[in-house]
Amino acid sequence: MKRIGILLSGRGSNFEAIADSVAAGRIEAEIAAVISNRPTARGLEIARERGLPAVCIPSKDVPREEYDRLIVAELKSQQVDLVCLAGFMRLLSAEFCQAFPMRILNIHPSLLPAFPGLDAQKQALEHGVKISGCTVHFVDPQLDAGPIVLQAAVPVLENDTPESLSARILAEEHRIYSEAIAVVLAGRWRIEGRRVVVD
Ligand code: GAR
């Protein structure tokens, strides 16, 4: 059985959707570790309620390289095969990425490469795009930049607020993150240049 490690910083709804997919057998794996960098993350509570192994490794005032070594050590000690960032609001160091080559996924609430970084939904609204969405991609040390596994598009409506657009995108996030994890764990993909071809 493949082992998934989840990293999160907050609400944890993407993590919850992944846990639901694992429970329903849509993802053939177990969640071996849920790690938060923030002690108050709701995602930690959800993990504990579900009886999943959850730990907080606080990142406050810890230099990035040192922090990432702590996280990598925890993930390795839990023998994690795939790391899923689920609202983990930190850049990963090159060493972290090298410790899990093509084994780290992230979900981002825009159609990358548009609107990387914070408040992607607000950025999209302010830019005036008519379509936005979400992206699951492999993680490299650049911000929101690695090879794209899956994307989903949603319309941007005239009367949207950042909240209403975020909610429409989030429903798609919950759907495609599990789908991408299943594809990656099953090895149903190959890389051509920076293009991920899903078989
Ligand atoms: C999600 O919308 C996710 O795409 C976004 O944070 C939210 C976390 O929600 N991630 C990023 O913006 C990463 N750059 P959740 O904690 O309920 O899953």
CB 86 within 8 A of CB 6: yes
Q: What is the pLDDT of residue 17?
A: 98
Q: 106-199: what CATH class? A: alpha beta
User: What order do you get walking across the sheet with 29-36 strand by strand?
Assistant: 54-56, 29-36, 2-8, 82-85, 104-108, 131-138, 148-155
- Confidence at residue 75, expressed as pLDDT on a 0 to 100 scale: 98
25 Cα: distance to centroid of ligand 1 (angstroms): 24
Sequence-distant (6+) residues with CB within 8 A of 192 are none
Dmax over CA atoms of the chain, in Å, equals 49
Closest alpha carbon to 30 in 84, 74, 71, 69? 84
What is the atom index within ligand 1 of the atom nearest the CA of 13? 17
pLDDT of amino acid 183: 98
Taking the C-alpha atoms of residue 94 and residue 96, their distance in angstroms, rounded to an integer, is 5
- Residue 61 confidence (pLDDT): 95
Cβ–ligand 1 contact at 109 (below 6 Å): yes
Query: Tokens 């994690």, residue?
Result: 80
Question: Which residues are known to be catalytic?
Answer: 108
CATH superfamily for 1-101 is Formyl transferase, N-terminal domain (3.40.50.170)
Q: How far is the CA of 132 from the centre of ligand 1 (A)?
A: 15
At residue 27, the pLDDT reads: 98
State how far the alpha carbon of 161 is from the alpha carbons of 125, 126, 165, in Å. 8, 10, 6
**Distance (Å) from CA 166 to ligand 1 centroid:** 10
Q: Residue 99's pLDDT is what?
A: 98
Q: What is the pLDDT of residue 165?
A: 98
Q: Which pTM value belongs to this model?
A: 0.98
- In short, whether 11's Cβ falls inside 6 Å of ligand 1 is yes
Binding site membership of 10 for ligand 1 (Cβ less than 6 Å)? yes
Query: Ligand 1 in contact with 170 (CB < 6 A)?
Result: yes
Average pLDDT per block of 10 residues along the chain, 199 residues long: 98 98 98 98 98 97 96 98 97 96 98 98 98 97 95 98 98 98 98 96
Q: What is residue 169's predicted lDDT score, i.e. its pLDDT?
A: 99
Q: 173 in ligand 1 pocket by Cβ < 6 Å? A: yes
Domain ranges in the chain? 1-101, 106-199
- The residues with which 7 forms a beta bridge, in sequence order, are 35, 85
Q: Whose CA is nearest to atom 11 of ligand 1?
A: 108
Pick the atom of ligand 1 nearest to 10's CA. 16
CA 108–ligand 1 middle distance (angstroms): 6
- The single residue listed with the structure tokens 């005239």 is 158
Give distance in angstroms: CA of 195 to centre of ligand 1.
23
Q: Which atom of ligand 1 is found nearest the CA of 118?
A: 12
